[in-house]
Structure 1
């Protein structure tokens, strides 16, 4: 039974982690000018790659926050920070590549790969910085 002592905290952190992920996905798809869901349903590989990068780029620091947080509130705060950093990354890429939305809509892979890598790089750096 001792090995199950952490089960309730595990469930709480896991549920909050999933809630943060779902909230991020919802907000990210509202903020980006292109509709990832519609594009992916149309088999747009570029949208899928870019979205996967943002998804993973957010999930990595959320996992780091779960490991390093001292409470559920601490975890939630750092999860929100991770989401903000992903949104900042999208807008930074948009400054560097102003026609990113048009290029994603046209299924130009190089644009999606660049956005995905920028999102992953942000997530990795974000996760590493959360090891306070």
Structure 2
């Protein structure tokens, strides 16, 4: 039975991560000036690339937060930090490319790749910073 002794903690952290990821997706899609899900449903690849990069940029530090967490509260706090960092990255890219949302809506790959890459790079740095 020792092989499943950690199951309750696993489920607790997995549920916490799923909840934080849902909160992230909700917050991110409300923060952007375009509707990612509607665009993805219309097969706009740029929207999927940008959202996918952002999601990876969030979940990478979240995984590190789970790994380093001393408690679920610790995990929640660092997960929220990762959320804030990703929203900030979106706004920084939007400052550099003011018509970012229009470009993504028009399925222009360059803007989507820049946003996705910036989100992933920010997530890597965020995750590395959590390995204190």
* CA drift at 1:82: 0.1
1:44 and 2:44 aligned: yes
Q: Partner residue of 2:25?
A: 25
Q: Structure 1 regions of 5+ residues with no counterpart?
A: none
* CA drift at 1:2: 1.6
* CA drift at 1:78: 0.2
* CA drift at 1:5: 1.5
Q: How does 1:1-132 map to 2 (within 5 A)?
A: 1-132=1-132
Q: Structure 2 regions of 5+ residues with no counterpart?
A: none
What secondary structure is seen at the aligned counterpart in 2 of 1:43?
Answer: coil
* CA drift at 1:6: 1.0
Aligned residues: 132
* CA drift at 1:101: 0.7
TM-score scaled by structure 2? 0.98
RMSD over equivalenced CA pairs, Å: 0.6
Worse-matched range after superposition: 2-11 or 38-47: 2-11
